[in-house]
Amino acid sequence: METIYDFKALTSKGKEIDFADFKGKVLLIVNTASKCGFTPQFKGLEELHQAYRDRGLVVIGFPCNQFAHQDPGSDSEIEGFCQLNYGVTFQIMKKVDVNGDDAHPVFKYLKSRTRSLLGSRVKWNFTKFLVAKDGKTVKRYAPTTQPERLKADIEAFLQEQ
Question: Tens of pLDDT along 23-34?
Answer: 999 999 999 999
Structure confidence at residue 4 as a pLDDT band (50, 70, 90): very high
What is the model's pLDDT at position 116? Answer: 59
What is the model's pLDDT at position 121? Answer: 80
Measure the CA–CA gap between 70 and 123, rounded to whole angstroms: 14
Q: What is the pLDDT of residues 84-114, one digit of tens each?
A: 888 899 999 999 999 999 999 999 999 888 8
Please, where are the H alpha helices in 39-150?
A: 41-52, 75-86, 105-113
pLDDT at 160 over 90: no
pLDDT at 115 over 90: no
Query: Which sequence positions are flagged as catalytic?
Result: 36
Pairing status of strand 57-63 against strand 26-32: parallel
Structure confidence at residue 148 as a pLDDT band (50, 70, 90): very high
Flag whether the pTM goes above 0.75.
yes
Q: What is the pLDDT of residues 43-88, one digit of tens each?
A: 999 999 999 999 999 999 999 999 988 888 888 888 888 888 888 9
Number of neighbours of residue 149 by Cβ within 10 angstroms = 12
What is the model's pLDDT at position 98? Answer: 94
- Residue 159's Cβ-count burial label (10 Å; 0-12, 13-18, 19+) is exposed
